[in-house]
Structure 1
Amino acid sequence: MEKPEEEINEDDYDDQQELVEAFNEIEEEINENDFEIQTEEEIELILDENESDVEDTTEAVKKLPGVGEATLNKLIKAGFNSLESIAYTPPKIIKDESGLGDKTVEKLIKSSMELLGLGFKSAEAIWEHRKNIARVTTGSQELDDVLGGGVETGSVIEFFGEFRTGKTQIMHQLCVNVQLPKEKGGLEGKALYIDTEGTFRPERIIQMSEGLDLDYKDVLKNIVYGRAYNSDHQVLLVKEAANLIKEKNIKLIVIDSLIGHFRSEYIGRGTLATRQQTINAHLHDLLRLCDIYPDLAVALTNQVQSKPDVFYGNPLVAAGGNIVAHGSTIRVYLRKGKGEQRIAKVVDAPHLPEGEAVFSILESGISD
């Protein structure tokens, strides 16, 4: 039985009205996200408002010119929840991970840079910043000395060497020491441990905690653990770490080890270029975290490989080639000594001379 003509027309009208209302809602959202030219006074006002609540980084992003709820949600979902994370990230990465358009991303970055004042600075200002950099003790005074006082924040430090040279032991010790008060060589923060080889051992953390008279239960609670099962998972965990750093007061990120998965998955010369490009992007994700969070330290372990063309001297070199060499701020080569002794040599650092330190691996942890 056919419906009356009036009823059909009324339904069609209702459908049209719903379409019009839906279109208007979309148009309002687009208009809300349109960028408007801001005067210097308006930008200064936004900056003043941000300074009044520096802890609320998401609110600072929300106050960027032209950011509506839709844009804000996309940024937060992709991990760009602070002015720094937007300003320091290449446009292509923000676009790919958030789904925002080219022009929107460019204006977001420009506005963030203006608010943060990312321009030229005097060398004196850089020196004042460097004087206040915090460091995490390794547990060995001798090793701390060759590192300029310990593992510094705002940098990526790489420990490479053969098996049983103490790489994983140092990573465990740093996870404990970062929780110490600042006057005892810590940062009063938590650690994030990305384990690619399945070598993280809570019982070792317990031994090291007891060696420092710490409650091991509290120490274990303050270590956020992630097991990376392949290279893609490893990269993803680092990207997800950006959302945890401020939320959980993370002061140290550990990756043990950096290149193991990449070496096993990218086999043969045909995959070398792709592997190196992926590692390069991965390292820059870590370096970017150090820029965004200057009170964060990143420590990596790396494997070694033999150079068959070396007939004299040490044929061992760090795996990963020049990409890893350029991506690490400080590089430390570890080798075995007598008994429980290990030797650490600073082989590359922008502010440190080459130097060696002897340390021991005891049941209570790293020591002189």
Structure 2
Amino acid sequence: MVESSYEYDEKELDISKLKGVGDVTAKKLKDVGIFTIQDLLLYSPIYISEVTGIPAERAEKLVLQAYEYLKDIGLVPKDFTVANELFNKRRLRKYIKTGSNNFDEMMKGGIPTQAVTEFYGEFGSGKTQLCHSLAVNVQLPEDEGGLNKNAIYIDTENTFSPDRIVEIALNKGLDPNQVLRNIIVGKPYNTVILLNMVKKLSELIKKHNVGFIAIDSAVGPFRAEYLGRGRLSERQQLLNRFMHDLLRIAEVYDVAIAITNQVQARPDVMFGDPTRPIGGHVVAHAVTYRIYLKKAKAADLRVAAIVDSPEHPPREIIFRIWEGGVTDP
């Protein structure tokens, strides 16, 4: 594993350092995966109260205390910040190069940290290929397009291929065994395990110096388990919590998160492209960037289009999939 560059002493951020948190409260929080003061910001007071048994008012007070503590040491922004400070902070964001200059230029540098990027498209459109490439590229030095960090790959559909990682690594002149050791793979069998894995991400990020997280695919398991309109509301509520947990993790721990998503056809669309990503408005509003991937005429070419972004204009580019991952045509 690449050595951690975590800026603050973990003891300084241990949950027990928060004023009023004694041994009993600290144990309740740690038993459900809340180990640090940062972790408290990932969950709502209602959720913390439900899983720990801590009264809701007490849980709310703890979250606010954590927020104030992290503001004081500069790990989270102030309540209100002038726009130029936010602009300067955004300039400090880091990017993972995809391997395609076309793709990176479209994204103004690559796949950014502090954000959730969604790749959606039909089978074979390049979603998994991009995730594999990014899981390797994040390990490169910063001057070569990486973050000099490790990756987590949550594989919900049995698409993760160690052989493909080895192929990409060899074509980049990297030690494939070391590259594989730097990727932590999770294989959830259902949504309960998937949600539990997400709860453990903050601990893994700090322990293993993680800079990139892929969830391939993110919405598919919810769609498969919660069938029919009778369970639609329940599914969307769980999916909403899942997506917002990912967004908070990306922002709080300065990591790049990429999720893949499937598509379905809209029978009411008579003209144009009838496909749309699954997950509805919950996913659409939660992701930072939404990128639509399509097959091109040539077998090794793919089209990537920015569908939704707070800072990028609509644009479409072509990239190529080859033995070494992703590149330009």
1:107 Cα deviation from its structure 2 partner: 2.2
What residue number does 1:309 align with? 268
Identity of aligned residues (%): 42
Give the count of matched residue pairs: 315
The answer to whether the 8 A contact 1:88-1:291 is kept is no
What residue number does 2:31 align with? 77
CA distance in structure 2 between the partners assigned to 1:284 and 1:229 by the alignment: 21
For residues 47-70 of structure 1, give each alpha carbon's deviation from its aligned partner in whole angstroms, at most 9, with x where no partner exists.
xxxxxx922256553222111111
1:88 Cα deviation from its structure 2 partner: 4.6
Q: Which amino acid aligns with 1:300?
A: I
What residue number does 1:169 align with? 129
CA distance in structure 1 between the partners assigned to 2:13 and 2:158 by the alignment: 39
Is 2:313 aligned against 1:321?
no
Taking the TM superposition and a 5 Å limit, the aligned residue runs for 1:10-25 are none
Change (3 A) 1:86 1:57: farther
CA distance in structure 2 between the partners assigned to 1:323 and 1:226 by the alignment: 24
SS of the counterpart of 1:242?
Answer: helix
Q: Which amino acid aligns with 1:104?
A: R
1:222 Cα deviation from its structure 2 partner: 0.3
The answer to whether the 8 A contact 1:157-1:299 is kept is yes
1:102 Cα deviation from its structure 2 partner: 2.2
1:235 corresponds to which of 176, 195, 208 = 195
What residue number does 1:347 align with? 307
Q: Which amino acid aligns with 1:256?
A: D
The answer to whether the 8 A contact 2:42-2:249 is kept is no
Is 2:210 aligned against 1:210?
no
For residues 225-284 of structure 1, give each alpha carbon's deviation from its aligned partner in whole angstroms, at most 9, with x where no partner exists.
011111221111111222211011111111000111112111111111111111111101
Q: Which amino acid aligns with 1:73?
A: K
SS of the counterpart of 1:139?
Answer: coil
Q: Which amino acid aligns with 1:130?
A: R
1:290 Cα deviation from its structure 2 partner: 1.5
Is 2:255 aligned against 1:277?
no
Structure 2: 5+ residue stretches without partners: 1-6, 72-77
Change (3 A) 1:84 1:361: same
Taking the TM superposition and a 5 Å limit, the aligned residue runs for 1:147-162 are 147-162=107-122
Using CA pairs under 8 Å that are at least 6 residues apart, name the structure with larger relative contact order, 1 or 2.
2
**CA RMSD across the alignment:** 1.4
1:106 Cα deviation from its structure 2 partner: 2.2
CA distance in structure 2 between the partners assigned to 1:97 and 1:129 by the alignment: 34
2:292 corresponds to which of 333, 349, 355 = 333
The answer to whether the 8 A contact 2:150-2:210 is kept is yes
Give the 4+ runs in structure 1 shifted more than 3 A.
Answer: 57-60
CA distance in structure 2 between the partners assigned to 1:235 and 1:320 by the alignment: 16
1:122 Cα deviation from its structure 2 partner: 1.1
Q: TM-score, normalised by structure 1?
A: 0.83
SS of the counterpart of 2:299?
Answer: coil
1:355 Cα deviation from its structure 2 partner: 0.7
SS of the counterpart of 1:299?
Answer: strand
Taking the TM superposition and a 5 Å limit, the aligned residue runs for 1:129-278 are 129-278=89-238
1:217 Cα deviation from its structure 2 partner: 0.5
The answer to whether the 8 A contact 2:14-2:37 is kept is yes
Structure 1 stretch 126-135 or stretch 95-104: which is displaced more? Answer: 95-104
Asked which structure has the greater CA Rg, the reply is 1
Q: TM-score, normalised by structure 2?
A: 0.92
CA distance in structure 2 between the partners assigned to 1:323 and 1:107 by the alignment: 28
SS of the counterpart of 1:192?
Answer: strand
* Larger helix proportion of the pair: 1
What residue number does 2:3 align with? none
CA distance in structure 2 between the partners assigned to 1:367 and 1:267 by the alignment: 39
Structure 1 stretch 68-77 or stretch 56-65: which is displaced more? Answer: 56-65
For residues 266-306 of structure 1, give each alpha carbon's deviation from its aligned partner in whole angstroms, at most 9, with x where no partner exists.
1111111111111111101101111221x201000000000
For residues 155-176 of structure 1, give each alpha carbon's deviation from its aligned partner in whole angstroms, at most 9, with x where no partner exists.
0000000111111100100100
1:339 Cα deviation from its structure 2 partner: 2.1
SS of the counterpart of 2:20?
Answer: coil
Is 2:94 aligned against 1:94?
no
Structure 1: 5+ residue stretches without partners: 1-52
Structure 1 stretch 81-90 or stretch 347-356: which is displaced more? Answer: 81-90
SS of the counterpart of 2:207?
Answer: coil
